[in-house]
Chains A and B, each alone.
Chain A
Amino acid sequence: MSLPFHLQVEKRLEDPPRWLPVATSVGAIVLAFLISGVILLLIGGDPVKTFQYFYNAAFGSWGALSDVIVKATPLLLIGLGCGIAFRMKLWNIGAEGQFFIGAFCASLVPLVPLMNMETTPRAVVLLVMALFGMIGGALYGFIPGFLKAKFNVSEIISTLMLNYVAVFWNNYWIYGIFSDAGFQMTKMFPKNAWLPRLADLAQQNRAFSGITLHLGVVFGLVAAVILTHIINHSRWGYEITLIGDNPKAAEYAGIDIKRNIILVFMLSGALAGLAGMSEVSGVVHRLQERISTNYGFSGVIVAWLAKLNPLATILVSFLFGALIVAGREIQPSGLYFLIQGTILFLVISSDVLLRYRIRFVRTSSEAA
């Protein structure tokens, strides 16, 4: 070999340095934008203009920023739910369905109505709606968990199929029983069932007028803190991580794996269901068919990009919220998926750097 050195790939024996996972994730995101830019260029677009527009659409004003956080909220909750399931190597791809069922159950409260919407205090209504959303999502997560634990049915397939079922189920109610004068949406919820928005404070502070940011984001932040605590400081969190890393060892340690499969699936579903509640109560204020722009699947990516870390999920969902907000505005519309897919691909490829290291080895010293 004529080069004075060659590359040698070897397995890491010790843990990678702490900065490396962060560096690879950031690098992957930057590279994904570059690659998408090249593709844009190839099909005759102007990447610089597009990305400038992208940036302005997402961060150009307080209103835009608030939109980003609004979009990030369901991603955060779903990403947290997916993250905890993925820790156990449970592939919950069904957050989309759990989200829809959560939205449906929460909507029952104002639509049936299950309580007197005039006299019940707003806080009580919202609390009951949030509970209904979580219970709905948890029950819908129970199905694939149970099928996996009891019959060893692939949760990937069952959750995917249940996604379709949930959409049709919701449509039955939206187009039929709860339809607002034949329109493909229910009638608007009474104000008591709306999550408070910053815009509600516009009378006190003019700066808030038109700002759609709602309380749902607090659900997400609280959930992230609770999950961090569960994972790092609780016995249950330890069991989940152990089952994911080494199911055999977990079994020898006497951990009930089947029970945990069901429980974690229900927790994962409950978080997605809460996201559904937050969307209908905080954003659209009614139940309709299009309440999700692929949140369920984006949540998978958010969770993975955050390396299943709840606090990192906050940051990543913010980024993806920006992608969604900007993606609405730009053409071609598929660019959003393209960037998402590329980011994830690069992230999982770069994981190899965490397991292996590449060393420059001087050829001459080896020969000596």
Chain B
Amino acid sequence: MNLEIILRSGLSTGTILIFAAIGEILTELSGIQNLGVEGMMLVGAMAAFKTSLATGNPWIGLLVGIAAGGLLSLAHAVVTIHFQADQVVSGLSLTFLGTGLALVLGEGLTGQNAPLIPNFTIPLLSQIPWVGRVFFSDLNLLVYIGYLFIPIAWWYINKTRPGLHLRAVGEKPAAADSLGVSVYGTRYLYTFIGGCLAGLAGSSISIAISPGWYSSQTTSGQGWIAVALVIFAQWNPLRAALGGYLFGMLRRFMLDLQGPMILFGAPNPFFYNHNLAFFLQMTPFLLTIIALVLGSAASRRQRIGAPAALGVPYVRGERD
């Protein structure tokens, strides 16, 4: 077990969760809850992998993966914004639809090797003692994009005019409407952006961070973790980043616990009884629930809640 390896693994796998979670934060801030993240990620992962395989260019694959996630999210947008369907059920059906599409279109991709987005060492920054070695050398390019993306997303939401409009639409759509902000337009836009980011998250699995196509095991429930992360993060990208990296590290740590024969000076029970590892595997999910319990207590104390209009369809002229 090695702290550096755990940290670096957390940075890599956390990036996947962070893209998806921040996408969902943007969508939810506009008042639309999209539970279909898992489906959009899977479609993104499949599209990116398939395109990269066909064109030989992982960057085209990445773009197609992003677009595929975005396109799928539009189904949710139409149904929930225009048809005012229940967002929970629509999100769930999006997961089914995405999974089905990805499995059907991804037939025969398993076991193939597609060109991948490369790893990269940042000059200068990687020279910093320890920090450079851990954070800035030989990580996937998308991990660095993640570093930049997190503060930008926070700044965009909290400090810019479009960010203000976004939050207004999610908190008080009628007021935003009366000020000339298009509620439907905004919701479509951010549902689409959320879908694109879920597509990016899926692509960063299949053609970058843990490459390959393993049908529905490719995402293995990470979309759901991302949705949980949004609530844990209280709709704040910075907290989402923290949670995403921590979750990535935790998973790696649980894996590493099974390796050594001696653990903290005692015989390692997980080494001698492999079945105990199932308890290690369930720990991240249990911790997610505990984090949610603590998180919802904290947000009640600080009066931070979900966007007021989250899940409520907007119809002009109707009182809520």
B83 touches A349 (CB 8 A): yes
Distance in Å: Cβ of A156 to nearest Cβ of chain B: 7
State whether the Cβ of A287 lies closer than 8 Å to any Cβ in chain B.
Answer: no
Q: Which of B39, B95, B97, B296 gathers most chain A CB within 10 Å? A: B97
- Set A43, A153, A341, A344: member contacting B292, Cβ < 8 A: A153
Q: Known contacts A176-B275, A334-B101; is A341 also within 8 Å of B94 by CB? A: yes
Q: CA separation between A171 and B278, bound complex, in Å? A: 7
CB-defined contacts of B95 to chain A, threshold 8 Å: 297, 341
State whether the Cβ of A267 lies closer than 8 Å to any Cβ in chain B.
Answer: no
State whether the Cβ of A215 lies closer than 8 Å to any Cβ in chain B.
Answer: no
User: Which residues in window 327-366 of A have CB below 8 A to B?
Assistant: 331-342, 344-345, 348-349, 351-352, 355
Interface segment out of the listed B171-179, B224-232, B235-243: B224-232
State whether the Cβ of B286 lies closer than 8 Å to any Cβ in chain A.
Answer: yes
B83 touches A161 (CB 8 A): no
State whether the Cβ of B30 lies closer than 8 Å to any Cβ in chain A.
Answer: no
Q: CA separation between A301 and B86, bound complex, in Å? A: 13
B281 touches A168 (CB 8 A): yes
B275 touches A345 (CB 8 A): no
- Set B79, B85, B293: member contacting A153, Cβ < 8 A: B293
Interface residues on A, range: 35 or more
Interface segment out of the listed B4-12, B102-110, B135-143, B205-213: B102-110
A344 touches B96 (CB 8 A): yes
State whether the Cβ of B75 lies closer than 8 Å to any Cβ in chain A.
Answer: yes
- Set A43, A151, A342: member contacting B296, Cβ < 8 A: A151
B228 touches A333 (CB 8 A): no
Q: Mark B100-136, 1 if CB is under 8 A from A, else 0.
A: 1111111100000000000000000000000000000
CB-defined contacts of B228 to chain A, threshold 8 Å: 157, 160-161
CB-defined contacts of B286 to chain A, threshold 8 Å: 161, 165
State whether the Cβ of B285 lies closer than 8 Å to any Cβ in chain A.
Answer: yes
Q: Known contacts A297-B92, A352-B84; is A337 also within 8 Å of B285 by CB? A: no
State whether the Cβ of B99 lies closer than 8 Å to any Cβ in chain A.
Answer: yes
Interface residues, chain A, CB within 8 Å of chain B?
Answer: 39, 43, 91, 93, 147, 151-154, 156-158, 160-162, 164-165, 168-169, 171-172, 175-177, 297, 300-301, 304, 331-342, 344-345, 348-349, 351-352, 355
Can you give 7 contacting A-B residue pairs, CB < 8 Å?
Answer: A165-B285, A168-B279, A168-B281, A332-B107, A341-B97, A342-B97, A349-B78
